[in-house]
Structure 1
Amino acid sequence: MAGIHGSSGDVSADSKEQPSQVPKAGFSDEEDTLITILYNLVGERWSLIAGRIPGRTAEEIEEYWNSKNSTGE
């Protein structure tokens, strides 16, 4: 089938970036409580909060916080 035009998209390259909308599951109750306490102390300084929660990045925590506290019911 030679002569097919417009098929230059590589689907496999985008498969790595799919989890960007969904926060990493598995935040424990302790992590949730700690995030809430630290947020009340320092606000949206996600890197400071992440520094107190081993194995979590600032981006993960921010996504978790925003998804948990979204107003879309």
Structure 2
Amino acid sequence: MADSGHSSDDSSVDSRDANGSQDSKLEFSEDEETLITRMFNLVGERWSLIAGRIPGRTAEEIEKYWTSRYSTSE
């Protein structure tokens, strides 16, 4: 029975690993970057529309990429 309590500690470590791997998803190919830039110039911050043109990407990923790359601090 004591082993059951110990295994719950292991699951919290796994969730930390999952959060760390999200950063690697923000790596975009040159073609994706070009498409995002072109689409942004056409439609603005309509992330879901832009994501619909890039297979395997979500609106959240594209918005995070854009804000990390082109954030304006005014």
Q: TM-score range by the shorter chain?
A: 0.5 to 0.7
The count of residues paired between Structure 1 and Structure 2 equals 63
Q: Residue by residue, what CA displacement relative to the aligned partner does 1:33-61 show, whole Å, maximum 9, x if unpaired?
A: 10001001111000000000001000000
Structure 2 partner of 1:60: 61
Q: Retained in 2: the 8 A contact 1:24–1:64?
A: no
Q: Which has the higher contact order (CA 8 A, sep 6+)?
A: 1
TM-score normalised by structure 2 residue count: 0.67
TM-score (norm 1): 0.67
Amino acid at match of 1:52: R
Which segments of 5 or more consecutive residues in structure 2 lack a partner in the other structure?
A: 1-8
- Stretches of structure 1 that go unaligned for 5 or more consecutive residues are 1-9
Structure 1 vs Structure 2: percent identity of aligned residues?
60
RMSD: 2.4
Instruction: Describe the SS at the equivalent of 1:24.
Output: helix
Question: Which structure is higher in helix share?
Answer: 2
Aligned residue type for 2:60: E
Whichever residue aligns with residue 25 of structure 1, its letter is L
Contact 2:47 2:60 in 1 (8 A): yes
